[in-house]
Structure 1
């Protein structure tokens, strides 16, 4: 029998969870707070469920120092669902602002307002996408599917400067963002902070998106959530699936600026959107509805929220005043150990992404130039030592060591030892 302590799992998602959280989960699944029923059996409308939500929210707010003018939502759509949700919600806000401005100019003539608004939407509606990997590419494709390709501006496609493959982030001087003006600009700018498949991570917030007139920035942080400090104030929406670095599969988390929610902001009505030939989003992706109902508009998987809350609360307890900075230090150290070893044996290993864009979370490399048989042997040798989940994504192949929070320093060191031993004997 293989014990959990004998294994170090580097899978990209679903990813490892802290053993203590899983041990506690086994108990609450059977009997939660001595109620005689398990956590998966309690009502999502119960006081216990609301307490679990509050604890998870509070832990995330503490870790990332989230300001009071932001809300935290728990959703069931996963990160992929948020590709759609950001489009539906922020386009509706953009349209309503344009409608209100036109109405100020022409008064109560609804026909004239609609006529001018159609022209504005046709000519000015743009959504900017920074395509630096597989997930941002999928997000841009979903936006094109929902609003039409003419409204989607791929401001950068990293493949054009890298022989048709992802692995770098072009200089911001090469980006073709939609111009910002006093009366306009894109409905949103999207980027994926960490590309799980391709091992690319933004080293910091893009300077091009800074400033008082900054557009609404939506960042997918599915695979580097709670791994480093984030200045939340720079974002309109941050979202991510929980299953990579926070919890179990089943929920996504969104951090949303409250100025985008009623009463501060009003989205265009469904009738108006339909009149403009724009899609109306499903209610389960509607941020105002989810926020108004404290993430409980529909049946939320409270067990998954509990797991995420336990993971985040454990970090709060571990790092105290350092908050997420404590975990950032450890994440950086583990990544340094692994990358230094890969670079040391460059005749055997080739790191896929450019050094300036290397992900701390998903370390992608090839063995002996990508020789299929040798990579297969490398993986087999790793499995014999209890180093699991190292196979690269099916779309790109190779090796991928996902360095999430639940991967211990001991696990990273054991991987480093194997990398050294393999390189010396290969």
Structure 2
């Protein structure tokens, strides 16, 4: 029987969790804090559940230095659910902002009654002429997000501001220069995936072109950080919304976290009525995907998996205990691990081909092909088999692209990365 300590698991997700966290969680699953019940059995309306949730939110805010003008939501549905939620919510916000602008242009004082039909007529014209959602398509997940937006809204409202396949022979692997992006004027949001797990592409930093210039209306920037959250410092203030599934660096499958500016929630901005959205021909999202509803109920509108929140909270406590400089400390380790692995691959360029361009290499998902022989598939089969013999597992690439993928998440130790780098070297040098 293989023991846990004998392997280093490089799977892309669900990912490896710290063993001490799992040991603590195992006890909590049976009997939480001497209550006689496991945490998964306690009511999500209980004081116990509320404390677990609020502690996790506070520790996340501390670790990432989230400003006070942001709200943290725990939701369900994963990243794919957020592909839809962002569309429903951000389009609704765009409609409400446009409505207020129309009322002002018509000289109608706030609070004064006006027929919804009159507003709908003006808004319908604005929707048809102005509504756009911008997507930066740099990999498989941002592509899926854009496709979901087109399915929900209609392709006429979706603007692919950039598609990296157009500069890379039809494949993902690069991020086009910002000057080439075709961004809309005041879109409902600009959406991008900060780290593409399938294609090994990561934005090196926040795009300059999306920064507020303090003059125009502040851009609504939405980012999917499911696979690199907690691994590096991020300028939270530059984003309107960040979301991430827990199952890479934060915890296990079951919860999704949203960090959203409070200015995008009531009482700062209202949600358009369902009847108005219907008159505009725009979709109305499920209530469990409503940021307003989830925020109003402190993430407890429906039955949240508190046990999964607890695991995430334990991961955060472990990170805060390990790194006095919080996320900066983890970032230094993540970069050191990634550099070790990439250096080994680059040292044998006749044997390995890194999928992504050096300008956009992911620190979290290191994707490469093994070209040791003309039969690439056979070379990769031998590579995986050899790695597994020494406890390096989960290296098979995504089914849609094949190849090798080493997911270098926070739970991968420096020793694990060193062991993989050593194997990359030895495999290249073997006959």
TM-score scaled by length of structure 1: 0.97
1:215-364 correspondence runs (5 A): 215-320=219-324, 322-364=325-367
Residue 427 of structure 2 corresponds to residue 422 of structure 1 = yes
Q: What's the CA shift for 1:236?
A: 0.4
Correspondence for 1:121 among 109, 120, 127 = 127
Give yes or no for contact 2:96–2:269 (8 Å, CA) kept in 1. Answer: no
- 2-side partners of 1:259 and 1:349: how far apart? 48
Structure 2: which 5+ residue stretches go unaligned? 109-113
Q: How far 1:380 moved relative to its partner?
A: 0.6
Residue 33 of structure 1 aligns to a residue whose secondary structure is helix
- Shift in Å, 1:233: 0.4
Q: Deviations over 1:49-72 (max 9, x none)?
A: 011011111111011100100000
Count the aligned residue pairs.
Answer: 420
Q: Distance in 2 between matches of 1:276 and 1:406?
A: 47
> Hey, what's the Cα distance between the residues in 1 that align with 2:56 and 2:174?
35
Q: Distance in 1 between matches of 2:33 and 2:24?
A: 12
Structure 2 counterpart of 1:209: 210
Deviations 1:129-148 (A, max 9, x none): 00000000000001111111
Deviation at 1:109, TM superposition (A): 5.3
Q: SS where residue 156 of structure 1 aligns?
A: strand
Measure, in 2, the Cα distance between the counterparts of 1:74 and 1:206: 27
Give CA-to-partner distance per residue, 1:379-420, whole Å, 9 cap, x none: 011111110000000000000000000000010011011111
* Deviating more after overlay: 212-221 vs 333-342: 212-221
Q: Name the CA distance, whole Å, in 2 between partners of 1:40 and 1:98.
A: 44
For residues 101-250 of structure 1, the aligned pairs below 5 Å read 101-106=101-106, 107=108, 108=114, 110-179=116-185, 185-211=186-212, 212=214, 213-250=217-254
Unaligned runs of 5+ in 1: 180-184
Provide the residue aligned with 1:36 in structure 2. Answer: 36
Per-residue Cα deviation, 1:245-265 (whole angstroms, up to 9, x for no partner): 110000100000000000011
Give the equivalent residue in structure 1 for 2:111.
none
Who is 1:400 aligned against?
Answer: 405
Q: For each residue in 1:83-102, what CA deviation from the matched residue of structure 2 results, as whole angstroms up to 9, or x when unmatched? A: 11111011101101111221
Q: Distance in 1 between matches of 2:322 and 2:28?
A: 22
1:47 and 1:214 map into 2 onto residues whose CA distance is 39
8 A Cα contact 2:76 2:255, kept in partner: yes
1:182 matched to which residue of 2?
Answer: none
Q: Secondary structure at the match of 2:34?
A: coil
Q: Which runs of 4+ in 1 moved over 4 A?
A: none
Give the Å deviation of 1:104: 2.6
Rounded Cα–Cα distance in structure 2 between residues aligned with 1:65 and 1:130: 26
Local SS of the residue matching 2:33: coil
Q: Residues of 1 paired with 2:72 and 2:101: CA distance?
A: 30
Post-superposition Cα deviations, 1:217-262, rounded to whole Å, max 9, x if no partner, equal 0000000010000110000000010001110000100000000000
Report the Cα distance in structure 1 between the residues aligned to 2:317 and 2:26, rounded to whole angstroms: 18
Structure 2: how far apart are the matches of 1:236 and 1:102?
A: 23
What is the distance in 1 between the residues matched to 2:361 and 2:339?
11
Q: How far apart, in 1, do the equivalents of 2:209 and 2:43 lie?
A: 46
Aligned mates of 2:25, 2:105 — CA distance in 1:
59
